[in-house]
Amino acid sequence: MIHLIFCIFLFLLGASFGSFLNVVVWRLPRWGFSSLASPPSHCPECEHRLAWRDNIPVFGWIFLKGRCRYCAQPISVRYPIVEGVTGTLFVFYYLMFFVYHLSPCAPAPTGKLDIFGRIIYEPRLMMGIFQDWPIFSLYLFLVWCLLAVSLIDAELFEIPLIIPWAMAALGIVVHTLIDSPMVPGALNLTDPMGISAGLAAGGAVGLILSIALYQKGIIPEAFADGEPGLEVDELAYAAAVSAAKEQGHEPPQRPTTRDYTKSEIRGEIRKEIMFLLPPLLCSLVAAWATQSLPGLNRAWRGVLQYHWLTGLMGAALGAMVGAMVVWLARILGTLAFGRVAMGLGDVHLMFGVGAIIGGGAATVAFFLAPFMGLLVGLYMLIFRKRHELPYGPYLSLATGAVILFYCPISQYLQPGIQGLLQIVQGLVGA
């Protein structure tokens, strides 16, 4: 019974957020952030301002029988569909987290030891919405952002960067405020030596340094006159233009492209590597310093006592790992194929995702995304829809799936992550 009440409430909440999603998807990429609040919603045909009852998610459209009250022009069925899907997803994640127990978890020590004398951890799942609503709300926000990114990226081949930035900001704030190692979904860096925390702190300093150097123009912008064009992009752009024409919308902007020789591409990629070097080097230096300098090591262990600090660093590390995995794939793919393998929008997207779900889960999502592409491609083949999708929707789909299954996956990955930390430990000579 209590579940039913929450499901109804969450559907209505989700549908309202879906209504705002329609506004964001249309206005944000075209007129920017400031256009979101005003003007109030109006009919795109006759510009008549809508009454509050026309704005009721899903039902407003049904009552109006899909036509504008004032000019009787049809209103796209896409609006109620997006609202309904958002509401359904909110309910879906509620049921998965709290009824089917497919949720983020926390490694809780059982007090028992295995045959090697190591503490046995048992995953602590989410208990219920009353205990776990802060993380649950953060995940609903994530789902909403992923929907927005997917819709905009599928239509216009771009990700407005303010969305992943908002994800990263909220992820870092929420994890700082509520993380403790016993909270499911918390990102506390709990390795006892504090190596991952050292990497996180150094990486964050290096990233800020890189951004500052980039702003000053000391680190040059790569592909400043546009990225090399892809045949796939051309096809997708043509499809988007004809779709826009059909619906009577203005066509999307053509992406700026330029042809590059192999050596020019290597030159551009070198600029991107310049941006990545400060975070990488600083993280190693910080890991070394916090392990090897006795005074600093003592202070560092003190720092690690504060859950809000290890949570903050966990979210920051998650963001950086998420972005780094995509960026490395972009660099390797671009060098191998002589054309840009993945957009910087995708790098930003996984930066935001990592800040919310953590670096491990973001990495798994990244490697799952091509399989989502395969599934969607198969569907399009079967239903004879020829429409290429950019990568953002696949990353979003994969993230939506990983949210549910990362808890058991993380158990398998645990030894690998420990091994990675030991390698870093060896590298920094601790």
Number of residues that bind Zn ion (CB under 5 A): 6
Residue 181, φ and ψ in degrees, nearest 5:
-55, -15
Say how far apart CA 357 and CA 210 lie, in whole Å: 24
CB of 55 closer than 8 Å to CB of 19: yes
Query: Given the complex with Zn ion, which of 67 and 270 has the nearer CB atom?
Result: 67
Identity at 26, one-letter amino acid code: W
75 binds Zn ion (CB under 5 A): no
To Zn ion, the closest distance from the beta carbon of 72 in angstroms equals 7
Residue 119, exposed/middle/buried by CB under 10 A (0-12, 13-18, 19+)? exposed
- What does the block give as tokens for 101? 């127990």
200 binds Zn ion (CB under 5 A): no
51 binds Zn ion (CB under 5 A): no
50 binds Zn ion (CB under 5 A): no
12 binds Zn ion (CB under 5 A): no
Q: How far is C-alpha 137 from the geometric centre of its chain's CA atoms?
A: 15
76 binds Zn ion (CB under 5 A): no
Interaction pattern, residues 264-303, with Zn ion; x per rule: CB under 5 A: ----------------------------------------
Strands 119-124 and 106-113: antiparallel
Instruction: Please identify, among the stretches 42-50, 58-66, 127-135, 277-285, the one whose residues bind Zn ion according to the rule CB under 5 A.
Output: 42-50
45 binds Zn ion (CB under 5 A): yes
CA 290-314-413 angle, to 5 degrees, is 100
Interaction pattern, residues 354-393, with Zn ion; x per rule: CB under 5 A: ----------------------------------------
Query: Given the complex with Zn ion, which of 47 and 221 has the nearer CB atom?
Result: 47
To Zn ion, the closest distance from the beta carbon of 66 in angstroms equals 12
What are the residues whose beta carbons fall under 8 Å from the beta carbon of 371, sequence distance 6 or more? Answer: 398
64 binds Zn ion (CB under 5 A): no
What are the residues whose beta carbons fall under 8 Å from the beta carbon of 242, sequence distance 6 or more? Answer: none
Residue found under tokens 């909110």: 90
Query: Given the complex with Zn ion, which of 45 and 155 has the nearer CB atom?
Result: 45
Task: List the interface residues with Zn ion, window 147-176 (CB under 5 A).
Answer: none
What are the residues whose beta carbons fall under 8 Å from the beta carbon of 105, sequence distance 6 or more? Answer: 123, 124, 125, 126, 184, 185, 407, 410
Query: Given the complex with Zn ion, which of 41 and 297 has the nearer CB atom?
Result: 41
Q: Which of 151, 146, 15 is nearest to 90 (CA)?
A: 15
68 binds Zn ion (CB under 5 A): yes
To Zn ion, the closest distance from the beta carbon of 44 in angstroms equals 8
70 binds Zn ion (CB under 5 A): yes
Residues that bind Zn ion (CB under 5 A): 43, 45-46, 68, 70-71
